[in-house]
């Protein structure tokens, strides 16, 4: 990427974050609805902290922090950079207020653009690129975290009339068959673009048994059939931990499904508010446990992340509406080594007790989709735009 392209990309990413919070009030931006979700104000500050800490602190001559307190308040999880404010208590950070956080963004933007006016520096520019990708990840979290917050409001208000929501997919399901064989997995800089997170490599070969994969994600209509067939009441469909999770939460439907009585039609809450269930829209906001149980009920299984990537390279259809849970535990590829220093904490240290999701969702910012992208969440996490696509052995 040229210097001017990097600057344009940086400005575009920073503006998109502000566009996503534009429909929110200062109060919307403050509150933390659960320990896993962060206030929008914290996202605004933390993404700025990332540029200040990883770029300005290292490369700006005579660096002075914007506010030394921010170093702890807005550090998410980087132990090498010192202490962090506890994640479940991010909503208690009432100061700085929203206006001061927006001023922090403006100040860091100005300093970063001044730095980028100097001649290119590959280490610096790579970190600016990483900071942009990092901010795009938080852009999606802003929407999923706000959605969770608004789901707890008694009126379940929408975020905005034009907010993203998964739309109907093709009604008929085709099975796409794949022969057994070796396949290359992971980011290839010669054909896949110049950026990937470290967890998308090293590129390596994997042998796949013959399999077939569905031409579209599972729909809300199919999920209704699963519920009607006792999906949430039949322990034989669930893994042991998943069944415990169903019982403990008394779960009988996806996170944002609601109905006024047991014989009333279902509605689904989303960023546009509560809308009638759409049988052809992909099911979303489901946990890995639910995805796994549904696949078993359907006489299928979740694809491995390698099957997904292999199929995607030959043209998997109807991706990009919901992240697709895979059967693959999140771990390092063969010979994976995190980068040295604090930035090495970005992905590698989370490779335990999580599952990989592939694709991308309606909340994923444009330009942030990659065939090799590995999103990851714990198996009980429901609040993302997460769905599933079925696969079967051949
Ligand atoms: Fe972050």
How far is ligand 1, taken at its centre, from the CA of residue 38, in Å?
A: 11
How far is ligand 1, taken at its centre, from the CA of residue 87, in Å?
A: 12
Among the listed residues 328, 329, 312, the one whose alpha carbon sits nearest the alpha carbon of residue 320? 312
How far is ligand 1, taken at its centre, from the CA of residue 172, in Å?
A: 39
pTM of the full structure: 0.97
Among the listed residues 174, 116, 180, 144, the one whose alpha carbon sits nearest the alpha carbon of residue 20? 144
SS (H, E, C) the chain: CCHHHHHHHHHHHHHHHHHHHCCCCHHHHHCCCCCCCCCHHHHHHHHHHHHHHHHHHHHCCCCCCCCCCHHHHCCCCCHHHCCCCCHHHHHHCCCCCHHHHHHHHHHHHHHHHHHHCCCCCHHHHHHHHHHHHHHHHHHHHHHHHHHHHHHCCCCCCCCCCCCCCCCCCCCCCCEEEECCEEEEECCCCCCCCCCCCHHHCCCEEEEECCEEEECCCCEHHHHHHHHHCCCCCCHHHCCHHHHHHHHHHCCCCCCCEECCCCCCCCEEEECCEEEECCCCCECCCCCHHHHHHHHHHCCCECCCHHHHHHHHHCCCCCCCCCEEEEEEECCCCCCCCCCCCHHHHCCHHHCCCCEEEECCCCCCCCCCCCCCCCEEECCCCCCCCEECCCEEEC
Per-residue pLDDT of the chain (394 residues; tens, 9 = 90+): 899 999 999 999 999 999 999 999 999 999 999 999 999 999 999 999 999 999 999 999 999 999 999 999 999 999 999 999 999 999 999 999 999 999 999 999 999 999 999 999 999 999 999 999 999 999 999 999 999 999 999 999 999 999 999 999 988 999 999 999 999 999 999 999 889 999 999 999 999 999 999 999 999 999 999 999 999 999 999 999 999 999 999 999 999 999 999 999 999 999 999 999 999 999 999 999 999 999 999 999 999 999 999 999 999 999 999 999 999 999 999 999 998 889 999 999 999 999 999 999 999 999 999 999 999 999 999 999 999 999 999 9
Provide the pairing of β-strand 386-387 with 375-377. Answer: unpaired
C-alpha to C-alpha distance for 239 and 64, rounded to whole angstroms: 52
How far is ligand 1, taken at its centre, from the CA of residue 4, in Å?
A: 25
Note the pLDDT of residue 369.
96
Note the pLDDT of residue 353.
98
C-alpha to C-alpha distance for 363 and 360, rounded to whole angstroms: 8
How far is ligand 1, taken at its centre, from the CA of residue 86, in Å?
A: 14
C-alpha to C-alpha distance for 324 and 300, rounded to whole angstroms: 15
Instruction: Look up tokens 């990413």; give the residue.
Output: 13
How far is ligand 1, taken at its centre, from the CA of residue 37, in Å?
A: 12
C-alpha to C-alpha distance for 140 and 368, rounded to whole angstroms: 10
How far is ligand 1, taken at its centre, from the CA of residue 278, in Å?
A: 33
Provide the pairing of β-strand 175-178 with 257-258. Answer: unpaired
Note the pLDDT of residue 171.
85
How far is ligand 1, taken at its centre, from the CA of residue 195, in Å?
A: 17
Note the pLDDT of residue 4.
94
How many CB atoms lie under 10 A from the CB of residue 6? 18
172 backbone φψ class: left, alpha, beta (φ>0; ψ -120 to 50): beta
Among the listed residues 139, 117, 5, the one whose alpha carbon sits nearest the alpha carbon of residue 60? 117
C-alpha to C-alpha distance for 316 and 328, rounded to whole angstroms: 18
Chain centroid, CA 174 distance in Å: 27
How far is ligand 1, taken at its centre, from the CA of residue 286, in Å?
A: 23
How far is ligand 1, taken at its centre, from the CA of residue 47, in Å?
A: 6
Note the pLDDT of residue 170.
87
How far is ligand 1, taken at its centre, from the CA of residue 168, in Å?
A: 31
How far is ligand 1, taken at its centre, from the CA of residue 51, in Å?
A: 11
How far is ligand 1, taken at its centre, from the CA of residue 332, in Å?
A: 20
Structure tokens at 262: 């047991």
Among the listed residues 389, 376, 363, 379, the one whose alpha carbon sits nearest the alpha carbon of residue 148? 363
Q: CA angle, 147 as apex, 159 and 265 as ends, to 5°?
A: 90
How far is ligand 1, taken at its centre, from the CA of residue 201, in Å?
A: 20
Note the pLDDT of residue 340.
87
How far is ligand 1, taken at its centre, from the CA of residue 318, in Å?
A: 28
How far is ligand 1, taken at its centre, from the CA of residue 277, in Å?
A: 33
How far is ligand 1, taken at its centre, from the CA of residue 360, in Å?
A: 18
Instruction: Look up tokens 């335990």; give the residue.
Output: 352
Structure tokens at 378: 């714990």
How far is ligand 1, taken at its centre, from the CA of residue 288, in Å?
A: 23
How far is ligand 1, taken at its centre, from the CA of residue 121, in Å?
A: 23
- Residues 379 and 356: beta-carbon distance below 8 Å: no
Among the listed residues 84, 98, 83, 6, the one whose alpha carbon sits nearest the alpha carbon of residue 43? 98
Residues around the ion ligand 1 (C-beta < 5 A) = 76
Note the pLDDT of residue 339.
87
129 backbone dihedrals φ, ψ, rounded to 5°? -60, -45
């Amino acid at each position: 990427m040229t210097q001017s392209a990097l600057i344009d990309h940086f400005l575009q990413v920073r503006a998109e974050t502000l566009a996503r919070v534009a429909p929110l009030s200062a109060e919307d931006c403050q509150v933390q609805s659960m320990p896993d979700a962060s206030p929008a104000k914290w996202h605004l500050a933390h993404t700025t902290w990332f540029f200040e800490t990883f770029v300005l602190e290292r490369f700006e001559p005579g660096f002075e922090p914007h506010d030394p307190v921010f170093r702890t308040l807005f550090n998410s999880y980087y132990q090498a950079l010192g202490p962090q404010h506890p994640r479940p208590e991010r909503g208690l950070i009432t100061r700085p207020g929203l206006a001061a956080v927006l001023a922090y963004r403006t100040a860091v933007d100005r300093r970063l653009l001044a730095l980028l006016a100097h001649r290119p520096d590959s280490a610096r520019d790579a970190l600016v690129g990483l900071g942009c990708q990092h901010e795009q990840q938080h852009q999606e979290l802003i929407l999923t975290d706000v959605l969770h917050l608004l789901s707890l409001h008694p009126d379940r208000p929408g975020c905005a009339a034009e907010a993203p929501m998964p739309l109907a997919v093709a009604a008929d399901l085709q099975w796409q068959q794949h022969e057994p064989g070796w396949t290359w997995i992971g980011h290839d800089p010669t054909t896949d673009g110049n950026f990937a997170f470290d967890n998308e490599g090293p590129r390596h070969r994997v042998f796949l048994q013959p399999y077939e994969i569905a031409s579209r994600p599972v729909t809300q209509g199919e999920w209704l059939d699963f519920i009607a067939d006792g999906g949430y009441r039949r322990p034989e469909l669930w893994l042991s931990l998943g069944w415990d999770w169903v019982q403990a939460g008394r779960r009988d439907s996806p996170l944002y499904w609601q109905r006024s009585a047991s014989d009333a039609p279902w509605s689904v809450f989303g960023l546009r508010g509560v809308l009638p269930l759409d049988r052809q829209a992909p099911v979303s906001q489901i946990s890995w446990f639910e995805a796994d149980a549904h696949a078993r009920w359907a006489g299928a299984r979740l694809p491995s992340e390698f099957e997904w990537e292999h199929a995607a390279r030959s043209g998997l259809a109807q991706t990009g509406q919901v992240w697709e849970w895979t059967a693959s535990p999140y771990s390092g590829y063969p010979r994976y080594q995190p980068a040295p220093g604090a930035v090495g904490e970005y992905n590698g240290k989370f490779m335990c007790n999580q599952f990989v999701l592939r694709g991308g969702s309606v909340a994923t910012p444009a330009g942030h989709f990659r065939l090799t992208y590995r999103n990851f969440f714990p198996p009980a996490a429901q609040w993302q735009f997460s769905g599933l696509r079925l696969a079967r052995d051949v």
